[in-house]
Structure 1
Amino acid sequence: MRVLLVFLLCCRLMLSSDSKIATLEETLRYMSKLFSLGQPLSREQGQLFRWTNCSAISTAALKVNNGSVTPDPVPLPGNITASVGVTLTETLKSPLKAEVTLKKKLPVLGYTSIPCIDNVGSCTYDDLCALIPDSTGECGPPFSTYKLPCHCPFPAGSYYLPPIEIQLPSAGSIPSFLTNGDYYGQASLFDAAGHPVGCYEAYLSLKEE
């Protein structure tokens, strides 16, 4: 995945060379082993990107105000433009637990869960803060440019990341039936006491160029 907190964590991880999270190609290779259907999806992909609040409580500390990703479908390789704005009503500190569900839409089967393999897929992360490399260093662009936090703790406040361009790599030798398709993701965040911080889900379509 469009939540600013999760988006910033992802950006932070993508910009680091020693990230603990697998690369896009490694992730898709795992999926290739799991979902070897042997043929590409037949239907024509359309615009799919959307996100919704799935929190069960109205007092969740994380509130998404807006978010966008273009073009839609997302090209691989290619450039995308993304923006997001959120409000944190309280400071988010370590440990920040995340329960992530990731699914891919498959012929006949519909949206099918991707198991957690090497911290990729439908995983539970005991502390997202611990996954951020150099979590005590200074924040570089675009975080410093827009005065956004890039590591824990995330102070309470309103944050907005205006549209920025992100370059996505090629999927390499990964079969097109894995790089082309529709995905669903859900992320639920919890504080140290186990209280819900926020829950958001999103749909995204990928298209190999």
Structure 2
Amino acid sequence: MRSSALFAATLCLVLVAQGDCKSHLKTRRLAKVKLVTFDWKNCGQPDAPATLTTLELSPDPISIPGDLSAAASGSTSVELASPLALNVTLEKEVAGFWVTVPCLEELGSCHYPDACDLLDQLIPPGQDCPEPLHTYGLPCHCPFKAGSYSLPQSKFYIPYVDLPSWLTNGNYRLQGVLGAQGKELGCLKVALSLNSAR
């Protein structure tokens, strides 16, 4: 997305790709999920090529299913092209300790050799980018050209989701590190809390 490829890859993986991977895992349909806390920060070097500048989500808390309003901006000083490695570390708070969630069926703390391939699986090449990206003329496939990008305040509808049984209630920390040719291009940390009901 034009809110930097780091934002695109991270947001797609957090909100969409997990739903795509869920078919391989034991899941349960939940009546409602609430995202009760959400925080983010860049975790790369100060001169990292890809950074997220702003990310605003509302309402607080966010209900799933429900409407979500989001705005974001970021930049990349280099073109981000395939192969674009993505290393994800997911931790869950258990009895006051942070426990790393292993990679299970491509969900959890996983290494993805090419985030561009993940985007192509979610939105097949040749298909229009989903709204509101299409309206604003924002790309959703690699390569992402160097530049400063922004997604204006936009509304999304988040449908019902089936979640793995271990990903229903609790506090989570997610770190995504984007890299190419052995070099780190950007890093983003997200902290969130989920509260769900059957």
Q: Shared fold by TM > 0.5?
A: yes
| Whole-angstrom CA distance in 2 between matches of 1:46 and 1:153 | 31
> Aligned-pair distance for 1:182?
1.9
Q: Which of 171, 175, 179 lines up with 1:190 in the alignment?
A: 179
> Aligned-pair distance for 1:171?
4.3
Q: Report the TM-score, using the length of structure 2 for normalisation.
A: 0.77
Superposed, 1:71-150 pairs within 5 Å as 71-106=59-94, 108-133=95-120, 134-150=124-140
Q: Which of structures 1 and 2 has the bigger CA Rg?
A: 1
Q: List gaps (5 residues or longer) in structure 2.
A: 29-33
Q: Report the TM-score, using the length of structure 1 for normalisation.
A: 0.74
Q: What is the percentage of aligned positions where both structures have the same residue?
A: 33
Q: List gaps (5 residues or longer) in structure 1.
A: 33-44
Relative to 1, partners in 2 of residues 1:22 and 1:67: Cα closer, same or farther, differing over 3 Å?
Answer: closer
- 1:176-195 Cα deviation digits (max 9, x unpaired): x842322211000101x211
> Aligned-pair distance for 1:158?
1.2
Relative to 1, partners in 2 of residues 1:146 and 1:173: Cα closer, same or farther, differing over 3 Å?
Answer: closer
Does residue 138 of structure 2 align to residue 151 of structure 1? no
Aligned residues: 187
Relative to 1, partners in 2 of residues 1:11 and 1:49: Cα closer, same or farther, differing over 3 Å?
Answer: closer
- 1:23-44 Cα deviation digits (max 9, x unpaired): 2793895588xxxxxxxxxxxx
Contact 2:84 2:113 in 1 (8 A): yes
- 1:39-77 Cα deviation digits (max 9, x unpaired): xxxxxx99632111111x222111211002223333232
> Aligned-pair distance for 1:105?
2.1
The code of the aligned residue for 2:22 comes to E
Structure (1 or 2) with the greater strand fraction: 2
